[in-house]
């Protein structure tokens, strides 16, 4: 199951108390103060990993608590510090304070980490308070409590290219031929029920990340079909590839389809409507050389839109598309 939203509670460890003790040894009548400091509480840390792909685990386990620091001990021994808790999340996870909605971390790179609740400092033991005038202080500090808060987590995938199309347009088929990703593919609408990412090689040393999201239909902004819920996953892509079925079997007019898609995107987020894009006419192997292809080609020429007739199942047109992506996508520059 793909989960892109979760709410969890985190509690960093409390600091351990400082100790109050005095040296007591045989034949040492005036043993001084020797209470050690308390250990620090553990932090709660988020770490992004490419191995995690969903926030599902955090849906089931909602409380995370790091260890407290141990109290200080006699003989000036410091208490042991508490271990950190490290929560692994997918790259693209945004962590907000659930109350203030402040963004605490936006984990955009693999292995990037951030402390979201800081452990409390350990208190000082009484040996730290000895002065020339007070050589037997009974004063010590308590440990400081660790931070605790509710967090709101949102996953917004990071990709270079987002695939947008009606259900059955051929998005998943294209991603699976260009990359090692294996989204479900079938001849019925809404086959793919979650977003998928794939790494597409665009040259000998270059690659870009492509995102396949579930199909959109007219009225998605009003909740039709799967609605808008997955569009946030292409909000952070720098480039959009609209996939429009131009085979003779397509039920809708391709140019109209393209306009419907653009309107749905703009209704969700104005900036998505202004994002750089190109159009791929899909399934040209199914009698695709007819009027529809010509009309679409003419329309794109007039509008100065880059257009690629492709057939993912035969490989037709894919080299030209790859070459175009190589020139236009600068991997790693997603905002």
Q: For binding to Mg ion (CB under 5 A), which residues are involved?
A: 171-172, 191-192
Choice between 3 and 286, CB closer to ligand GTP: 286
Cβ-Cβ contacts under 8 Å for 18 (sequence gap 6 or more): 35, 36, 37, 38, 71, 72, 122, 123, 124, 125, 126, 128, 140, 141, 142, 143
Strand order in the sheet with 5-11: 63-65, 5-11, 148-155, 93-97, 103-107
**CB-based burial, 247-256: b 16+ in 10 Å, e otherwise:** beebeeebbe
Cβ-Cβ contacts under 8 Å for 276 (sequence gap 6 or more): 238, 239, 240, 328
Choice between 141 and 245, CB closer to Mg ion: 245
Smallest distance from ligand GTP to CB 143, Å: 54
Smallest distance from ligand GTP to CB 283, Å: 4
Q: Which of 307, 311, 269, 305 is nearest to 288 (CA)?
A: 311
**Is residue 281 close enough to count as binding ligand GTP by CB under 6 A?**
no
The piece of 37-45, 70-78, 270-278, 306-314 that touches ligand GTP (CB under 6 A) is 306-314
Choose from ligand GTP, Mg ion, none: what does 282 bind? Cβ within 5-8 Å by kind.
ligand GTP
Choice between 121 and 228, CB closer to ligand GTP: 228
Among the listed residues 33, 215, 281, 317, the single contact to ligand GTP using CB under 6 A:
215
Q: Name 65's bridge partners.
A: 11
In this structure, are residues 279 and 254 in contact, taking their beta carbons and an 8 Å threshold? no
**Is residue 189 close enough to count as binding ligand GTP by CB under 6 A?**
yes
Choose from Mg ion, ligand GTP, none: what does 169 bind? Cβ within 5-8 Å by kind.
ligand GTP
Interface contacts to ligand GTP, rule CB under 6 A: 165, 167-173, 185-187, 189-192, 214-215, 282-283, 285-286, 311-313
């Amino acid at each position: 199951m793909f989960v892109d939203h979760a709410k969890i509670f985190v509690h960093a460890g409390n600091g351990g108390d400082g100790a109050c003790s005095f040296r007591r040894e045989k034949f040492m009548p005036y043993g001084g103060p020797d209470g050690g400091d308390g250990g620090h509480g553990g932090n709660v840390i988020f770490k992004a990993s490419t191995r995690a792909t969903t926030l599902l685990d955090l849906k089931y386990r909602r409380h995370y608590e790091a260890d407290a620091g141990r109290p200080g001990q006699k003989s000036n021994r410091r208490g042991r510090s508490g271990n950190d808790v490290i929560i692994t999340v997918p790259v693209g996870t945004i962590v907000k304070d659930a109350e203030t909605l402040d963004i605490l971390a936006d984990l955009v790179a693999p292995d990037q980490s951030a402390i979201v609740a800081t452990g409390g400092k350990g208190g000082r033991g009484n040996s730290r308070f000895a002065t020339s005038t007070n050589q037997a202080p009974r004063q010590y500090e308590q440990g400081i409590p660790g931070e605790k808060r509710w967090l709101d987590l949102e996953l917004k995938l990071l990709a270079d290219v987002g695939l947008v199309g009606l259900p059955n347009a051929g998005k998943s088929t294209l991603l699976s031929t260009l990359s090692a990703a294996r989204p479900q593919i079938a001849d019925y609408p809404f086959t793919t029920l979650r977003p998928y990412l794939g790494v597409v090689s665009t040259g000998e040393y270059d690659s870009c990340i492509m995102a396949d999201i579930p199909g959109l239909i007219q009225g998605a902004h009003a909740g039709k079909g799967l609605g808008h819920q997955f569009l946030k996953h292409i909000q952070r892509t720098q480039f959009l590839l609209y996939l429009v079925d131009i085979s003779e079997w397509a039920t809708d007019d391709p140019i109209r389809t393209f306009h419907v898609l653009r309107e749905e995107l703009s209704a969700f987020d104005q900036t998505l409507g202004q994002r750089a894009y190109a159009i791929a006419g899909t399934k040209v192997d199914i009698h695709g050389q007819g009027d529809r292809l010509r009309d679409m080609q003419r329309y794109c020429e007039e509008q100065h839109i880059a257009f690629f007739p492709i057939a993912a199942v035969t490989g037709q047109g894919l080299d030209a598309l790859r070459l175009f992506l190589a020139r236009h996508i600068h991997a790693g520059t997603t905002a």
